[in-house]
Amino acid sequence: MSLFWRIFGLNALVLGAATALLLWGPVTVSVPVLLTEATMLLGGLAVMLVANAALLRVGLAPVGRLTRLMTRVDLLRPGQRLPVPGHGGFIQLIRTFNAMLDRLEAERATSTARALSAQESERRRIAQELHDEVGQSLTAVLLGLKRAADQAPAPLRDELRQAQEITRESLDEVRRLAHRLRPGVLEDLGLISALTSLTSDFATHTGLEVRRRFDPDLPPLDHERELVLYRVAQESLTNTARHADAERVELALCHTPDTVELRITDDGRGVGGRGIGAIREGAGIRGMRERALLISATLDIESGPRGGTRVTLSVPRGPRPVTGAEPHTRAEREV
């Protein structure tokens, strides 16, 4: 039954009951209208309105549930669906809405995979250019400054050596940026070595205390899952340094029979402050959710057990669904 006929039937039921009471009941209307008659008519009208409102509330309850879901649905948190009742006039509407969410989530996953694949390719290209072009140019400048300092008189030698130090620091910064853009350790030595290098570099540059905890016998993961784990850890640590006002950070990588979990916990402001768990999610957290969606993982941001914020990424160990937008081999990824 369509929505139109459902509402029409409810109103017809109420109006028919009222007509039957008028026809076969002892109600009469005098001219002029008596007070008792007016009271009975107004009371009957009130009963009709209340009955009509109650029937409409019950009949249109699925529309209310659908409206509430539409206001809070988020494609970066997939799986939100309305249960399909076994009877009623809104089954087709609910099924159509659930099918629309399935289609939108699939399209979002495909477009996200393409965007992130293009982003990683661009990062590799920029990192390669920084290493090959800018890095080599700075190295040549550094060698030239060294030769000039060796041959220069004493007053000029100190200035040339100071320029050498500035150039050397710039070269180190270029190498660090290239390493962040393209984590070669991840491809060469694996996820554990990459996370160890990431946290060591983070502790060196921020001065925060970083604790690492890795479960033994971690199961092997494909390159895409390892890359998402690495990028989420990288973004979480960056947000902690920028916003959490923390002193200590713990990075843990553990596994269960079904998942591999990455947990980053800090002792900073927490969910209620301006930390990584703030209610208003920025581009960094949205990017983490998009990466998690790419490999069907779950990202949770909540208060830590002792305050602060905890970011948990749960990566399933089973076969990963193919989106059709990502390369299937290492050679294709490098193109």
CA separation for the pair 9, 15 (Å, rounded): 10
| pLDDT for residue 212 | 92
Is the pLDDT score of 296 beyond 70? yes
Average pLDDT over residues 302-331: 66
Average pLDDT over residues 50-64: 74
Contacts of 70 (CB under 8 A, 6+ apart): 97
More confident residue, 298 or 81: 298
Strand partners, 313: 262, 299
Q: To the nearest whole percent, how much of the chain has pLDDT over 90? A: 6
Is the pLDDT score of 331 beyond 70? no
| pLDDT for residue 29 | 62
From residue 206, give the alpha-carbon distance in Å to each of 69, 166, 239: 42, 20, 12
Tokens read off for 278: 């703030």
From residue 125, give the alpha-carbon distance in Å to each of 115, 116, 319: 15, 14, 30
Is the pLDDT score of 329 beyond 70? no
Report the Cα 110 to chain-centroid distance in Å.
Answer: 15
Kindly state the helix (H) or strand (E) to which residue 264 belongs, with its residue range.
strand 259-266
Is the pLDDT score of 140 beyond 50? yes
CA separation for the pair 80, 231 (Å, rounded): 26
87: region left, alpha or beta (phi > 0 left; psi from -120 to 50 alpha) = beta
Q: What is the pLDDT of residues 142-155, one digit of tens each?
A: 888 888 888 878 77
Is the pLDDT score of 328 beyond 70? no
Task: Return the CATH fold of 184-335.
Answer: Heat Shock Protein 90 (3.30.565)
Domain extent listing, the chain: 3-71, 109-182, 184-335
